[in-house]
Structure 1
Amino acid sequence: MPRPDTEIDESPSGDAGPAFDHGAVSRFNAWFFTAFAGYLNHVARDHKQQAFSGLQPGASVLEIGAGTGANLHHLPTGVHLYAVEPSLRMHDRLRRRCAAAGIEVTVLPVGAEAIPLPDASIDEVICSLVLCTAGDPDAVLAEVRRVLRPGGRFRFVEHVAAPRPGVRARVQRAIRRPWGWIFEGCDPHRATPDTVERAGFSEVRVERRRLRHSVFWPVNTAAWGIAVR
């Protein structure tokens, strides 16, 4: 499938959006999401299998918040990965893991609110445990719709706000500030499925299901879904 016909700036000094390095906090997150990638994939395994099955060999795939490459094993052969990842601390690990997996990657050191790709240029967009950190999730989803080709799919797995009233929902709201500081903006009580459903996709399927055997009790209320451009 054709790739986006555009020149892409992979340097942090590009004009497309806010790359960042929060020092010790960014180093911690790069270490954490590398060290716990296997565990996080295990607890979200069922969600990811449902959301990411059906990706086609040779597709152009944009991943929002690619991190250090936790989802690479879900990608079929021959894809070109466009990896939106504003945290500079993640890039070296991501590139090494893509090289080891034989996946061609273009790293975009930007926020997902302004993706430097042309309209209708991408076959599939994926993300997992990422929209919780977006400063403006409505803007992110508008960009996802813009870059997807007609009929293209947005596939996502996210931890989401627990039902209210309830103990878990109260805990999520209580820990918002420290949790967000530790995990670089993550909101443990975000109603992501509602945001996707109002984003203007032609079709949206969402299933809410708790993460299996997760020790991260405050954020094991989760959802997976597929939205069609």
Structure 2
Amino acid sequence: MTVNQIIGDSKNQIFANLGKHFFAWMMAANTSKYDKIVSDRKRSLFANLQGKVLEIGPGTGSNLPYYPKDIHWIGIEPNPDTHSSLHKQAAKLGLKIDIRIGSAEWLDAEDNSIDTVVSTFLLCSVPNIDYTLQAILRVLKPGGRFLFIEDVAPPQGSLLRQIQNTVSPIWKAMGDGCHPDKETWIALGKAGFSSINYERFDAQLPIVTPHIIGIATK
């Protein structure tokens, strides 16, 4: 490796780290407003969960307060730095949890073993959404459900879509891999679920305002 390559890699790493710090700051600044917008939706979406529930990318546990206490919760979280926060949050809530290392494209669970898979604000940032959805279908039991709240692209030709298309490369670098213009509903429709029901709503966040919330059944 040449000196220029080393310098270039260092610059890229510095930019990536700055981007992650900026994204974290932006999300923190909007967390209170976002929570007010999605809290009732989460409460309704997660109200009747039973059995084994696998959440992909739970982070520090923002969804844990909305889960029933008698479920068997499994979290696939690749960042070990968040695990202690998850355990503390679960202990405070009286929720038993099982945290596993993995990724959205490789879920550490047996085939046909999970009653419900959950993802929130995640699918915009997975490297390959098609692989992720196939992984979800693999672990779900027949009749199992995938519950999601995700930011998505606005309609083609809209001003916000034009803005998203323009800033997408920068947003991806500074937004921890998030593609703001991802047409997630199309990928869901092609994945092979037996039924998909979702609705759109406005999350009032910069750039990633359009969201969908719904249930896909295996």
Into which bin does the TM-score normalised by the smaller protein fall? 0.7 to 0.9
* Shift, 1:30, TM fit: 6.4
Which residues in structure 2 correspond to 1:8-157 (within 5 Å)? Answer: 37-56=31-50, 59-157=51-149
> Residue deviations 1:66-109, cap 9 Å, x none?
11111112200111211112233322222211121111112222
Structure with the largest fraction of helix? 2
1:179 aligns with 171
Corresponding residue to 2:189 among 197, 202, 221: 197
Partners of 2:152 and 2:180 within 8 A in 1: yes
Q: What is the SS of the residue equivalent to 1:53?
A: coil
Distance 1:24 1:166, change over 3 A: closer
Structure 1: runs of 5 or more not aligned: 1-21
Q: State the AA in 1 paired with 2:201.
A: R
Partners of 2:101 and 2:108 within 8 A in 1: no
Which whole-Å CA distance do the structure 2 matches of 1:137 and 1:106 have between them? 24
Structure 2: runs of 5 or more not aligned: 1-15
Distance 1:35 1:104, change over 3 A: farther
- Number of paired residues? 203
Q: What is the SS of the residue equivalent to 1:193?
A: helix
> Residue deviations 1:180-202, cap 9 Å, x none?
12221011110111111111011
Which whole-Å CA distance do the structure 2 matches of 1:210 and 1:70 have between them? 19
> Residue deviations 1:106-134, cap 9 Å, x none?
22222110112100111111111100010
Distance 1:83 1:96, change over 3 A: same
Partners of 1:50 and 1:224 within 8 A in 2: no
* Shift, 1:40, TM fit: 2.5
Which of 179-188 and 32-41 deviates more?
A: 32-41
Q: State the AA in 2 paired with 1:53.
A: A
Q: What is the SS of the residue equivalent to 1:172?
A: helix
* Shift, 1:49, TM fit: 3.9
* Shift, 1:151, TM fit: 1.0
Which whole-Å CA distance do the structure 1 matches of 2:88 and 2:31 have between them? 15
* Shift, 1:164, TM fit: 1.1
2:7 aligns with none
Q: State the AA in 2 paired with 1:179.
A: W
Which of 130-139 and 102-111 deviates more?
A: 102-111
Give the TM-score taking structure 1 as reference length: 0.80
CA RMSD of aligned residues (A): 2.2
**Percent identical across equivalent pairs?**
33
Partners of 1:26 and 1:89 within 8 A in 2: no
* Pair member with larger Rg: 2
Give the TM-score taking structure 2 as reference length: 0.84
Q: Aligned pair 1:161/2:153, yes or no? A: yes
Partners of 1:69 and 1:94 within 8 A in 2: yes
